[in-house]
Amino acid sequence: MFWRKQRKALERLHPLHRQLVEERRFSATLPSADWTALVASLAAHGQAITRRKWQVPDRAASTVVPMLRVLQEDMEPGAFLGVTTDLRGPVVSDKSGESRTLSVRPPIRSVRETFYTDPWLVVRAELRDGSVLELAVVDRVRQRRIVKKNRNGKIKTKTKSKPARAVRATRRLPKGMAVAEPAPRAPGWLTVRVQQKENGRTVLRASAKVSTHDDHRTLGQILTVTGELFRWTPPRASAATTRRSR
């Protein structure tokens, strides 16, 4: 009886919420206002679903949902927001890349090194000021599978992983929007590039390598990187200021 109630509760979830629970990923492009229903569904998850198997990944609550809310604040309700998130973790077969065997010395018998690339959050948002913001959070993991023979002649296998995380943000400005280098400059760990297109538009790019030790810090890291792009353009005038200037 209990599991039947849980199954019915799962079936009533927002379609993207349910996909996140069952597959640990989803990809969709919707008007900004339509994402509100997903945010509300995820916020009520604990009240409807208690089965451990169907819990939402931690990064959904710590990063994905807060990021949706921040973006919606700077978007018109009908502007499109695209989100692709994959929270299965980096070490899965379809995320593996280069793999090689390393040279070893006894007592190590073999070392197999594999690299995994995990773009677990990709966003594209049409902002209220006419610019387009693109964001990607990518984890890259180097995993080594070490086979070693100990003094007793037993064969043991050990796996070591070394993760790294990159946050990359791009802001494509509308034609004619002014750009100026801000003061103070961006911190040394954050790289900013300015590209002038032939059509008169400007593209701002920011990137940084950040810590992977605490996922609860990821949102702040993302906001720091993306926020740097907005320091290069004048603040948007409020509606009240615009009316007074007339």
Task: Tell whether 13 is covered by a domain.
Answer: yes
Three-class secondary structure of residue 92 per DSSP? coil
Task: Tell whether 56 is covered by a domain.
Answer: yes
Residue % of the chain over a pLDDT of 70: 95
Predicted local distance difference test score (pLDDT) of residue 242? 41
Task: Tell whether 146 is covered by a domain.
Answer: no
- pLDDT, one tens digit per residue, over 180-197 is 999 888 889 999 999 998
Confidence of residue 198 (pLDDT cuts 50, 70, 90): confident
Task: Tell whether 151 is covered by a domain.
Answer: no
- pLDDT, one tens digit per residue, over 27-69 is 999 999 999 999 999 998 888 888 888 999 999 999 999 999 9
Which residues of 46-107 form beta strands (DSSP E)? Answer: 80-86, 96-102
Q: Is the pLDDT of residue 246 over 50?
A: no
Q: Average pLDDT, whole number, for the chain?
A: 90
d(CA 18, CA 26): 9
Which of 169 and 234 is assigned the larger pLDDT? 169
Task: Tell whether 23 is covered by a domain.
Answer: yes
Helix axes 15-23, 35-43, angle to 10 degrees: 60
d(CA 104, CA 211): 30
Task: Tell whether 46 is covered by a domain.
Answer: yes
Residues 6+ apart with CB under 8 A from 186: 192, 206, 228, 231
Task: Tell whether 128 is covered by a domain.
Answer: no
Task: Tell whether 238 is covered by a domain.
Answer: no
Q: Global pTM?
A: 0.88
Mean pLDDT of 95-116: 92
d(CA 29, CA 113): 36
d(CA 172, CA 130): 9
Residues 6+ apart with CB under 8 A from 139: 90, 116, 117, 118, 120, 163, 164, 165, 212
What secondary structure letter does DSSP report for 235? P
Number of domains, the chain: 1
For the chain, the C-alpha Rg in angstroms (whole number) is: 23
Which structural domain, as residue segments, surrounds residue 60? Answer: 1-74
Confidence of residue 200 (pLDDT cuts 50, 70, 90): confident
